């Protein structure tokens, strides 16, 4: 009996990402029905010519999306044909911020001038009394009824016209600032913290007050070290997760043990 060749995966993306997308397509097409088991790790490795690590990462992504559940001693069972209203942001570098904005659209509801008090000045790392443009709105994934996040974006006053006449930008706001004003973002600082969602935010997001949420703060700095923009996104915990890959470099010469 002749052994079949491994199925090819899409080029130009991490292999675990391509495998995850292939499995998602198989689930949504009905090849793997709800309640059925996916092939074993060993079978997927042989079928696609990938490592066990690649298979496990792909399955983890499907689990994050709510499509499958993993049962020790049983296997990976299909839970749903369609993912829950949840966005999984995987990052290996700053370029992945563009992917986030391509997938998740900011719908602007309000643009107002705000004067930084002591609390806001601490967030924006500026002097109290400084004027900023505050942009408030929702972040939405195409085809989903509920927003995945509420957003407040603070933009330095000199760049206040960046969104003039635009309610649903197709580019990240920092990229629009770069294009319009000829400045360059050289550093992005990100902080993720767990919070309880307040009553007003819960109403808009369609969750119960006190629901666990993730507060994601990103600060965009120029070459001079000045903050140009601060974005604050509030996500219900069951609609967003952030995955980051860190590649470590050893300072030891090859072939030398510790």
The full set of domain ranges for the chain reads 15-78, 87-243
pLDDT for 2 equals 45
Region 87-97: mean pLDDT is 50
Q: What is the CATH number of domain 87-243?
A: 3.40.1410.10
pLDDT for 247 equals 55
User: CB-based contacts of 114: which residues, under 8 Å, 6+ apart?
Assistant: 120, 131, 132, 133, 134, 154
Quick: pLDDT tens for 198-233: 999 999 999 999 999 999 999 999 988 899 999 999
Region 83-89: mean pLDDT is 54
The structure's pTM equals: 0.61
pLDDT for 227 equals 95
Quick: pLDDT tens for 15-32: 888 898 899 999 989 999
145 pLDDT more than 50: yes
Would 15-78 and 87-243 be classified into the same CATH topology?
Answer: no
Rounded Cα–Cα distance for residues 113 and 120 (Å): 13
Instruction: For 15-78, give the CATH class.
Output: mainly alpha
């Amino acid at each position: 009996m002749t052994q079949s060749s491994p199925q090819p995966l899409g080029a130009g993306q991490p292999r675990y990402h391509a495998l995850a997308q292939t499995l998602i397509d198989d689930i949504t097409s009905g090849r793997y029905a709800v309640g059925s088991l996916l092939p074993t790790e060993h079978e997927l490795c042989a079928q696609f010519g990938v490592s066990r690590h690649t298979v496990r990462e792909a399955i983890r992504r499907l689990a994050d999306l709510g499509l499958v559940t993993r049962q020790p001693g049983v296997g990976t069972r299909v839970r749903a044909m369609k993912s829950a209203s949840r966005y999984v942001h995987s990052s290996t570098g700053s370029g992945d911020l563009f992917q986030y904005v391509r997938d998740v659209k900011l719908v602007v509801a309000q643009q107002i001038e705000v004067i930084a008090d002591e609390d806001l000045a601490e967030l924006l790392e500026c002097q109290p009394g400084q004027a900023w443009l505050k942009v408030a709105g929702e972040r939405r994934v195409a085809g989903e009824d509920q927003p995945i996040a509420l957003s407040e974006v603070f933009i330095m006053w000199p760049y206040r016209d960046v969104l003039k006449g635009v309610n649903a930008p197709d580019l990240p706001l920092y990229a629009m600032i770069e294009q319009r004003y000829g400045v360059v973002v050289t550093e992005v600082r990100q902080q993720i913290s767990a919070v309880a969602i307040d009553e007003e935010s819960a109403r808009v997001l369609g969750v119960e007050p006190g629901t666990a949420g993730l507060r994601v703060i990103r600060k965009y700095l120029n070459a001079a070290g000045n903050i140009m923009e601060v974005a604050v996104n509030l996500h219900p915990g069951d609609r967003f997760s952030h995955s980051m890959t860190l590649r470590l470099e050893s300072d030891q010469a090859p072939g030398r043990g510790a």
